[in-house]
């Protein structure tokens, strides 16, 4: 009988340790990770597969000849370290669900016994008691643990959606800055050329005695200022390009040869479909951080249920066997902790306070989102009004410039008048560009307040790239 017990225990131990995980090293070598980063590019075949799977319509040529906001956003999802971090957090919380569902292991004990006895015929050594403890959780604690872990895993998936929106927002802002600064540079060159022509005409008039030296000095001073503005505008373009590469998660060399487009940049959506109640509703329904806060509140509610269930003690089924002097001795008896000195009041109170805090946090976030969305809409409406005024002024100055050019062509106006009209036209174009940039910036802030794209052509859903298996939908 004793041998059978020993064999059974040995088999149990063997089966328990057979499925154990083994350590797999994963060293980080900075030199190799830096080389991997430098090898990133927009021509990566795996990136092209990812674009084909998520771009609607699927691109006929990959990489696309021109990269728009949607394609760059997907490239950001593919390369951004924030996206990779969000996926690892999802895996972490999914693993926590497995941990929450784990059942407590039984405990066994086995040891020899040595007994001191006066009889010379008494064998001092004996097989010691073999004990077994089978813990049984009560009151549904395991179910509450699993439910809490699942809600936290849901929150991690929503947090990944927040990360995706943050990546898209940064890429949009960087692309906007890059494209607008390119235009600023071209307009600064036009202004410099116009001022150079004006200074040349003023110098000719001075030689003819038709202008004074202070007039020429003023024209030359304006030209020098224009040259400085042009140099500053030119210097901003490569810096913007580097910021765009960083937002995507690429080295700046990866953007060499790439061409960018934004078809709706000059025509931001009007305010007709953006009534305050519609904007507020979209913000409250679509804000991922608000949905995540609601999920975290549900997790805190499950945590409270778990602490309440802990008032009821778990049961331990204990048993034992020993052999002594040819006698087989069996023991069996349940045990449990007596809730005499406390009934888990402290942890229950803490869980109640945490749930209440999560509820207050949710309501505060909701109020902040309403204020943010309404404020963003007010700013966008103001930016659209300023854009319309700038367009009217630019159209008027362009008409005056063309009229002056026709008059100069037939000899009804002089070159000075034409040069002044040209400068005024360029200045109006610069003001229009600034108003358009302000409107697009306000539109981006309005989109951020709702976490929803408002321009046509944006992806309504996406999936993170492999090798991660988790999928996040952003609607």
Give dist(CA 432, CA 216) in Å, integer.
Answer: 29
Domain assignment present for residue 2? The answer is no
454 band by pLDDT with thresholds 50, 70 and 90: confident
Q: What percent of the chain has pLDDT over 70?
A: 87
On the question of pLDDT at 311 being above 70, the answer is: yes
61 band by pLDDT with thresholds 50, 70 and 90: confident
387 band by pLDDT with thresholds 50, 70 and 90: very high
Sign for the CA dihedral angle at 257, 263, 264, 266 comes to: positive
Angle between helices 276-286 and 345-409 (to 10 degrees): 130
Q: What count of other Cβ atoms lies within 10 Å of the Cβ of residue 52?
A: 13
16 band by pLDDT with thresholds 50, 70 and 90: low
CA angle at 252 for the pair 249 and 258, rounded to the nearest 5°: 95
Domain assignment present for residue 340? The answer is no
Q: Where are the beta strands (DSSP E) in 17-149?
A: 107-110, 113-114, 125-126, 130-136
Domain assignment present for residue 412? The answer is yes
Q: Which of 163-172, 314-323, 425-434 has the lowest mean pLDDT?
A: 314-323
On the question of pLDDT at 386 being above 50, the answer is: yes
**Confidence (pLDDT) at 187:** 97
Which 8-state DSSP code applies to residue 260? B
189, exposed or middle or buried, with CB in 10 Å at 0-12, 13-18, 19+?
middle
Structure tokens at 210: 């038709």
Q: Are strands 130-136 and 125-126 parallel, antiparallel or unpaired?
A: unpaired
**Confidence (pLDDT) at 320:** 78
Q: Where are the beta strands (DSSP E) in 50-206?
A: 107-110, 113-114, 125-126, 130-136
On the question of pLDDT at 460 being above 60, the answer is: no
Instruction: List residues bridging with 108 in a β-sheet.
Output: 132
| Residue-range definition of the domain harbouring residue 149 | 67-104+140-314+345-450
**Confidence (pLDDT) at 185:** 97
CATH of the domain at 441: 1.20.1600.10
**Confidence (pLDDT) at 469:** 36
**Cβ proximity of 289 and 340 under 8 Å:** no
Domain assignment present for residue 56? The answer is no
Mean predicted confidence (pLDDT) in 339-345: 90
14 band by pLDDT with thresholds 50, 70 and 90: low
Digit-coded pLDDT (tens) for 71-96: 999 999 999 999 999 999 999 999 99
Q: Is 439 helix (H, G, I), strand (E, B) or coil?
A: helix
6 band by pLDDT with thresholds 50, 70 and 90: low
Mean predicted confidence (pLDDT) in 369-390: 95
Domain assignment present for residue 75? The answer is yes
**Confidence (pLDDT) at 394:** 96
Instruction: List residues bridging with 336 in a β-sheet.
Output: 315
On the question of pLDDT at 286 being above 90, the answer is: no
Q: What count of other Cβ atoms lies within 10 Å of the Cβ of residue 258?
A: 20
Domain assignment present for residue 431? The answer is yes
On the question of pLDDT at 127 being above 80, the answer is: no
Choose among 12, 108, 103: nearest CA to 314.
103
Number of domains comprising the chain: 1
Choose among 474, 475, 471: nearest CA to 91.
471
On the question of pLDDT at 252 being above 90, the answer is: yes
Domain assignment present for residue 15? The answer is no
Digit-coded pLDDT (tens) for 143-201: 999 999 999 999 999 999 999 999 999 999 999 999 999 999 999 999 999 999 988 88
Mean predicted confidence (pLDDT) in 415-440: 93
Which 8-state DSSP code applies to residue 252? G
468 band by pLDDT with thresholds 50, 70 and 90: very low
- CA 197, distance to chain mean position in Å, is 50
Structure tokens at 418: 């034409």
Q: What count of other Cβ atoms lies within 10 Å of the Cβ of residue 77?
A: 27
**Confidence (pLDDT) at 472:** 37
Give dist(CA 39, CA 16) in Å, integer.
Answer: 46
On the question of pLDDT at 4 being above 80, the answer is: no
CA angle at 8 for the pair 2 and 10, rounded to the nearest 5°: 105
Structure tokens at 321: 């066997």
Domain assignment present for residue 358? The answer is yes
């Amino acid at each position: 009988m004793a041998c059978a017990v020993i064999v059974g225990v040995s088999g149990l131990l063997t089966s328990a340790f057979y499925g154990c995980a083994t350590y797999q090293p994963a060293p980080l070598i900075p030199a190799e990770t830096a080389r991997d980063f430098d090898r990133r590019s927009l021509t990566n075949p795996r990136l092209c597969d990812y674009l084909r799977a998520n771009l609607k319509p699927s691109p006929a040529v990959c990489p696309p000849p021109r990269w728009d906001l949607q394609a760059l956003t997907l490239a950001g999802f593919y390369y951004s370290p924030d996206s990779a971090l969000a996926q690892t957090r999802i895996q972490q919380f999914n693993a926590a669900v497995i941990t929450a569902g784990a059942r407590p292991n039984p405990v066994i004990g086995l040891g020899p016994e040595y007994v001191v006895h006066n009889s010379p015929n008494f064998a001092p050594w004996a097989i010691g008691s073999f004990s077994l403890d089978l813990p049984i959780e009560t009151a549904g604690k395991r179910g509450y643990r699993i439910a809490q872990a699942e809600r936290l895993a849901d929150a991690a998936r929503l947090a990944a959606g927040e990360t995706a929106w943050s990546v898209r927002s940064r890429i949009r802002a960087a692309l906007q800055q890059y494209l607008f600064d390119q235009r600023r540079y071209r307009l600064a060159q036009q202004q410099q050329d116009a001022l150079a022509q004006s200074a040349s005409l003023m110098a000719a008039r001075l030689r003819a005695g038709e202008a004074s030296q202070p007039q020429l000095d003023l024209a030359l001073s304006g030209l020098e200022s224009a040259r400085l503005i042009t140099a500053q505008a030119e210097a901003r373009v490569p810096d913007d390009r580097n910021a765009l590469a960083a937002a995507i998660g690429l080295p700046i060399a990866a953007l060499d040869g790439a061409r960018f487009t934004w078809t709706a940049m000059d025509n931001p959506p009007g305010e007709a479909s953006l009534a305050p109640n519609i904007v507020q509703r979209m913000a409250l329904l679509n804000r991922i951080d608000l949905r995540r806060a609601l999920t975290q509140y549900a997790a805190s509610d499950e945590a409270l249920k778990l602490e309440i269930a802990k008032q009821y003690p778990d049961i331990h089924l204990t048993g034992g066997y020993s052999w002594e002097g040819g006698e087989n001795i069996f023991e069996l008896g349940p045990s449990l902790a007596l809730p005499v000195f406390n009934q888990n009041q402290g942890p229950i109170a803490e869980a109640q306070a945490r749930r209440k805090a999560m509820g207050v946090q949710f309501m505060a976030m909701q109020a902040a989102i309403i204020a943010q969305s309404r404020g963003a809409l007010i700013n966008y409406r103001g930016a659209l009004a300023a854009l319309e005024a700038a367009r009217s002024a630019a159209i008027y100055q362009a008409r005056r410039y063309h009229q002056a050019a026709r008059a100069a062509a037939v000899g009804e106006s002089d070159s000075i008048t034409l040069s002044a009209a040209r400068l005024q036209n360029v200045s109006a174009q610069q003001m229009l560009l600034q108003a358009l940039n302000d409107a697009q910036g306000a539109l981006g802030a309005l989109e951020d307040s709702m976490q929803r794209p408002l321009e046509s052509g944006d992806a309504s859903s996406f999936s993170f790239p492999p090798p991660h298996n988790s999928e996040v939908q952003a609607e």
